[in-house]
Structure 1
């Protein structure tokens, strides 16, 4: 069984320089692959695979263009993996699973440095307080003892968020799935007013984005973004070279402040999702049923787009799927067109004229009265048509 671990690491100045150089080349290789395929498609209506592009880049392009020899100055496996990531993005686009691949931007910090053990005999050493990464050497781990020292590390990535660095490793471990004692299942209805309503408990899981803590950070974020915008405007007017250099340094500092606030918000939301999933898994249900939400369609509504994005429904689904697999729980996904809100959880009567503003469900047939979202959660639990994730 493969399991991933992610923890923060401490890099010295030389290691930071090597890391930034590596992800810079990886970003170039990713964008170059997309641009090359766009040109090739215009000429011959064909695309080149990531493996063929990697061979062409190393054997033909770099020898004939010595000004691009800096591509080979960094870890080769990281560059090749970035090309294969772009190839994977193309394949998902052709299958209709995602949009056309877009170019990577430096400010997004979404490029990672990939590393892997070269062969079966090679071992990536890991101790309680440090790990040895190719080209970077021994790197200090901030959370000592978190990474397993007696397991085999298959591969890993080094990433950056704001001014902090993280290592994520893929470890091969023995499968240890826990058996569930309960025969009952759980229905989970996700929403915007409350994050989740669970059929097995009366109190819903609150929406973390409505708390004073998050609102305070968002208010601070608006102020810092306005400051950044004003600095960009003043940079356009400056013609003095000394003033321009100072303005660029101030812009870089302000960008870092904005990134830190964004990262803080994402950590709060991710922690809330983790706590919710942990609370559901602790109940040891036989199965968990959720609805396949059309998040992309919901994002098209300009009045709800921000609220939908802040809830991170896809992240919740992905994490819940992994946790269910580890604990031996069946995750059922009901079709998005299943009328969970309109059906009565007692008699099964369908209320066609139910409005979005009706927060209390009143059945016209049996007179059942209950909260609209709780009624939907119970219907999801009792759903007969579903697919297993």
Structure 2
């Protein structure tokens, strides 16, 4: 399987300027390609990555006003058309919506790095047209001639280089008697069948609540300043507004890092139990997000990211990963005797079985049932 690592870059001011130029050129090429793709399609022709790329090189790049395109690696624009082609393939497979134009404010600041130019030596990595950039990492970076999909990106504070490489399965001895069921929730992140206590909801911690409180205050300040500096129907962005918006972005970055770190720690804790299989529900997260009362809480729990991490960590460690059918009655079935309680309501947080007298937390009962999924299905 392909394993990815993330390396913190420490560029100079000149190198950082080239990186931002690469981000802008990648965005420009993607938007130009999307516009040209739509034009050709409306004219009745069948566009492709090769035709878009060829026209860009023969028309745009040869114009003198676009000479700034040569300041960065040619692979930056070439890969932008590759990303556009992948976006359309996903659209035609109905895996995503129609591709959108990338915004300078909202789109992720990233660009492709030529893989055969990457060389690590003396705590420096060579990037084409940028030069040797200092870096620091705790990973042991393999010295390869080819890395998979290397990208540089800026998270609002630091620059990172992410790259993938082929890695064999991690050989560990699994407990053949341990099957784990995981029931995800909103009040708690998850209930694990073999653990007595639930995995806590990190959004209820002191630090996250403090950051959310700070975030609300800053957003109100920005809103008031926009209203104070309003000129007719136009909003004037002052230096104070720019400073506040930068602080807001850093708080969002901090919250994202806290949530991702919590999910990584939780999934690592489960994998280190060395079960021979892990069973989870097949949640319709997109449908769950339509509930306006719970959508924010569901988004903050990062349930999709939890499932994604469990999948690849189970695959890497040779653990069987199963997603139970979405109609499987894990909550309504008694984990002791197997009786079904059809009148169980969402407000009933404790499962009480009439047949065997079992009293257990509703979510823990569901997790235990998921651990036995193959036996009862």
TM-score normalized with structure 1 length: 0.89
1:21 offset after TM fit, Å?
Answer: 0.8
Tell whether the 8 Å contact from 1:188 to 1:199 is kept in structure 2 after alignment: yes
Superposition pairs of residues 176-187 of structure 1, within 5 angstroms:
176-187=170-181
Look up the SS of the partner of 1:184 in the other structure: strand
Which residue number in structure 2 is paired with residue 107 of structure 1?
105
Which residue number in structure 2 is paired with residue 302 of structure 1?
292
Which residue number in structure 2 is paired with residue 48 of structure 1?
47
Counterpart Cα distance in 1 of 2:114 and 2:147: 6
Which residue number in structure 1 is paired with residue 215 of structure 2?
221
Q: 1:367 aligned to 2:357? A: yes
Tell whether the 8 Å contact from 1:116 to 1:154 is kept in structure 2 after alignment: no
Aligned length: 374
Counterpart Cα distance in 2 of 1:62 and 1:151: 33
Counterpart Cα distance in 2 of 1:21 and 1:138: 17
Which residue number in structure 1 is paired with residue 13 of structure 2?
13
Could you list the per-position Cα deviations for residues 166-190 of structure 1 after superposition, in whole angstroms to 9, with x for gaps in the alignment? 1112234455432313432100000
Counterpart Cα distance in 1 of 2:178 and 2:59: 62
Q: 1:94 aligns with which of 70, 85, 92?
A: 92
Look up the SS of the partner of 2:333 in the other structure: coil
Tell whether the 8 Å contact from 1:109 to 1:161 is kept in structure 2 after alignment: no
Look up the SS of the partner of 2:227 in the other structure: helix
Tell whether the 8 Å contact from 1:197 to 1:374 is kept in structure 2 after alignment: yes
Q: 2:188 aligns with which of 183, 188, 194?
A: 194
Which residue number in structure 2 is paired with residue 159 of structure 1?
153
Q: Evaluate the alpha carbon distance shift between residue 128 and residue 360 of structure 1 in structure 2; reply closer, same or farther with a 3 A threshold.
A: farther
Counterpart Cα distance in 2 of 1:355 and 1:54: 57
Counterpart Cα distance in 1 of 2:330 and 2:47: 45
Superposition pairs of residues 226-375 of structure 1, within 5 angstroms:
226-237=220-231, 248-375=238-365
Which residue number in structure 2 is paired with residue 130 of structure 1?
124
Could you list the per-position Cα deviations for residues 316-340 of structure 1 after superposition, in whole angstroms to 9, with x for gaps in the alignment? 1111111111111111111222221
Counterpart Cα distance in 2 of 1:127 and 1:386: 56
Say what the alpha-carbon RMSD is for the aligned residues: 2.4
Give unmatched runs, 5+ long, in structure 2: none
Which residue number in structure 2 is paired with residue 241 of structure 1?
none
Q: 2:65 aligns with which of 59, 64, 67?
A: 67
Counterpart Cα distance in 2 of 1:316 and 1:354: 27
Look up the SS of the partner of 1:103 in the other structure: coil
Tell whether the 8 Å contact from 1:333 to 1:386 is kept in structure 2 after alignment: no
Counterpart Cα distance in 1 of 2:39 and 2:290: 31
Larger deviation: 17-26 or 337-346? 337-346
